[in-house]
Each structure stands twice: as structure tokens, then as C-alpha cells.
Amino acid sequence: MEKIKKSLPLVILVAIMIIASMYIDKQTILNYKYSIIQYSNENMTITGIIYLMLYFICVALSLPIATILTLLAGVIFGPILGTGIVVIGATLGALAIFLIVKNAAGDEGLLAKYKNSKSLLTLQKNIKEDAVSYMLFARLVPIFPFVLVNVAPATVGVKTSTYLWTTLIGIIPGSFVYTYLGYQSGKLEGVSDLISIEMISAMVLLGVFSLLPIFIKKIKNAKGV
């Protein structure tokens, strides 16, 4: 009975994830883009709070709309405030799912499709060896699925404080890159704007960030790791 009680929050979370993913997708968010922007211009504070809560829910439920929400945050709030909102919302959402899984003492629901996968086993192995370094690495370099990085640490005994601060620090660079790209794309008024210095710099940042896993892999291979 005690085991069932501990696992109940995880079961509920998985059920909500499945239901929410059926009704919320990227296109739904994009359809309301201009309405959201207009409302935010008139009610910036309340929009910021609502957006932070929305991002929290998105991450906590592992909904596949985090990227579009991050880009949209740049359009609505700009790269600096947008990054702040995304980082806080993502960190709190990741912490929520971490605590639920840790309390449930199991990962059967959220990690079902990753069971025995090389990515999960590698992540767990490296986190056990050096939690701080590898948690920061996993956050900074987008190699593993976000849900794995959120949940796997809870299955190998990572301290909550370690998980919290490595998540907070580690997601800042990526969040800034995407909010900055969203900010620049939101300023486009014509095809000619695609070749502006600002837009090109945003795309370069995104390209460099996306290539990080390849650079890291080559460095490791060169060192024979």
C-alpha cells in the first residue's frame, strides 16, 4: 500500500502528459501567437507570470512544445526577459518532475520507451560517477532527450540541491540562443530582413549551439575517451 501511495503522483503525471499531448501541440501555440503578443503589450506583468506558469507546466508534463514556447518568449518579451522567464519556468518544471519521480522511487512511466537504451544507461552511468560535471554537461549540450535529463538523475540518487543549481545554470545558454532567435524572427517585416546582421548572428548562434555535440564527440575521440 505504501508503495502504491508513493507511485500515485507519477501515475497521475503520466496520465496528464498523455491527455495533454493529445490536445496541445506547436500549431495550437502558433495559431494564438499574435493574440498573445497583443495582450502582452497591454499587460506585460500578468503575461509574464502566466507565461512562466505555462512553461512550468510544459516542462513538468514533458510536452513537446518547449522549443516553440522558448522562441515565442523571445518574440513577446525580448531576449533578456524572455530568457529569464524560460529559465525560471523550465527549472521549476524540471524540479517538479524530478521530485515526483524521486518520491515515487521509480521511473517506469516516464522512461518506459527509453528502458535499456544506450542514452539512458550512459546518462545514469556518468551521473553516478560525477553528478555535478555531467549534469552541467547534459544541460549545456543538447545530446540527450530533455525528459531523460529531467528524470534520470532522480533514479540514481542525485541530491535535489545539485539537480536544482546545475539545471538553473546549465539551461541559460541554450535558452538565450532560442529566445534571441525568436526575438530576431519576430522583427522580420520582409524577405530582405532575413539577411540582416542581427538575424544572421541569431542563426549563427543556433548553428554553433546545435553543433556542440559533434565538437564534444570529436574532442573525446581525439583524447581516446
pLDDT for residue 29 is more than 70: no
For residue 156, which amino acid is it? V
Comparing 106 with 142, which gets the higher pLDDT?
A: 142
The mean pLDDT value for 24-28 works out to 54
Share of the chain above pLDDT 90, in %: 16
What 8-state DSSP symbol labels residue 189? -
Q: Are 98 and 151 in contact (CB under 8 A)?
A: yes
Q: What is residue 119's predicted lDDT score, i.e. its pLDDT?
A: 76
What 8-state DSSP symbol labels residue 25? -
Over residues 97-115, the pLDDT tens digits come to 898 888 765 555 555 655 6
3-state secondary structure of 37: helix
The C-alpha cell that represents 117 in the structure block: 537504451
Instruction: Give the mean pLDDT of the chain.
Output: 74
Comparing 186 with 86, which gets the higher pLDDT?
A: 86
Burial of 187 (0-12, 13-18, 19+ CB in 10 A): exposed
Over residues 191-200, the pLDDT tens digits come to 444 445 555 5
* Distance in angstroms (rounded) separating the CA atoms of residues 194 and 18: 38
Comparing 15 with 62, which gets the higher pLDDT?
A: 62
* Distance in angstroms (rounded) separating the CA atoms of residues 58 and 28: 14
pTM of the model: 0.71
Q: Are 95 and 167 in contact (CB under 8 A)?
A: yes
Over residues 154-204, the pLDDT tens digits come to 888 889 999 999 999 889 888 988 898 888 876 644 444 444 555 556 556
Confidence band, pLDDT 50/70/90 cuts, at residue 123: confident
